[in-house]
Amino acid sequence: MDMQWFDWLRPYVESLITVGLIAVAAWIGGVAAKRAVRAALSRSGLDELAGNLLGRSAQIAIYVVALVSILGTLGVDTTSLIAALGAAGLAIGLALRDTLSNLAAGLILALNGAFRQGDFIEANGLLGTVLSIDLMSTELKTTDARKIVVPNGTMISSNIVNYSTYPVRRLEFFITISYASDSQLAERLIHDALASTSFCHTDPEPVVGTDALGDFGQTLLTRVWVDADQLVSGKMQLLADIKQAFDTHGVEFVGPRLEIQAVR
């Protein structure tokens, strides 16, 4: 009688052992795959966001395969189950197409490295510092301290200008002086102002010269490479220094003038 019970239970025990082994192997394999994918992407320099998503996806894929194997071991018709899961997945995908579009765009943004957290960018007509990048949206902080949340689908379809990619940027500005002023003296004074700063670079060499001869005076062009974080404040400082030097040496600024004459 005991042997009959053992013979009756043996197939079930073997199935349970097989299911347990598959479950343990799937858990170990899923964790290992997630860590391996994240480590590989980390070595390649990709963002942690992409590593987490792809690692989690690999882990879930192993779990799904293990689940199908367990159900097959237990005698469940996995063919119909896979077909049902496929139909359900299609229906969910159609219902969440906008969400999935943002999800895919978030992954692409994480992989292509167009910008990172802390970068100052322009996208979709918006200027701001990147506060965070997640799978659904990107948060920007504007120059007047407003937070803007942009869906990644919108972000990926925009032309993105990253102002923080390179540590050095070119600064360009124009100054118009009168024809009575000495343009060579003005150019020398501008060169002196550039040389007196710590953020202006000498390689490439600054360019200063006459760009146009207009109705009111001669326009001097200045092009100089500066530290990227000094693009705005550095320009203000340079213009103030140049103004002071021009005033000291008698170089006259000019611009459009409106003359009104009284008719008697």
Does 223 share its domain with 172?
A: yes
CATH code of the domain containing 48: 1.10.287.1260
Phi-psi region of 235 (alpha: psi -120 to 50; beta: other; left: phi over 0): alpha
Residues 147 and 187 in one domain: no
For residue 158, is it within any domain?
yes
In a domain, 257, yes or no: no
- In this structure, the answer to whether residues 215 and 240 fall within a common structural domain is yes
Asked if the structure places residue 180 within a domain, the reply is yes
Sheet holding 218-227, edge to edge: 168-177, 218-227, 207-213
Task: Provide the whole-model pTM.
Answer: 0.56
Count how many domains the chain has: 3
Same domain? 198 vs 245:
yes
Domain that holds residue 181: 168-249
Asked whether residue 189 falls in the same domain as residue 133, the answer is: no
Residues 189 and 226 in one domain: yes
Residue 223's CATH number: 3.30.70.100
In a domain, 256, yes or no: no
Report how far residue 145's alpha carbon sits from residue 128's, in angstroms, rounded to the nearest whole number.
9
Residues 174 and 194 in one domain: yes
Region class of 200: left (phi > 0), else alpha (psi between -120 and 50), else beta: beta
The rounded distance, in Å, linking the Cα atoms of 116 and 37 is 21
Distance, CA of 99 to CA of 90 (rounded, Å): 14
Encode the chain (264 residues) as per-residue pLDDT tens digits.
445 555 555 555 666 667 677 777 777 776 776 676 666 555 444 455 555 666 666 677 777 777 777 766 666 666 766 666 676 666 655 555 566 677 777 777 777 778 888 888 888 888 899 988 776 788 899 888 899 998 888 888 888 888 888 889 999 999 999 999 999 999 999 999 999 999 999 998 999 999 999 888 999 999 999 998 888 889 999 999 999 999 999 999 986 655 565 565
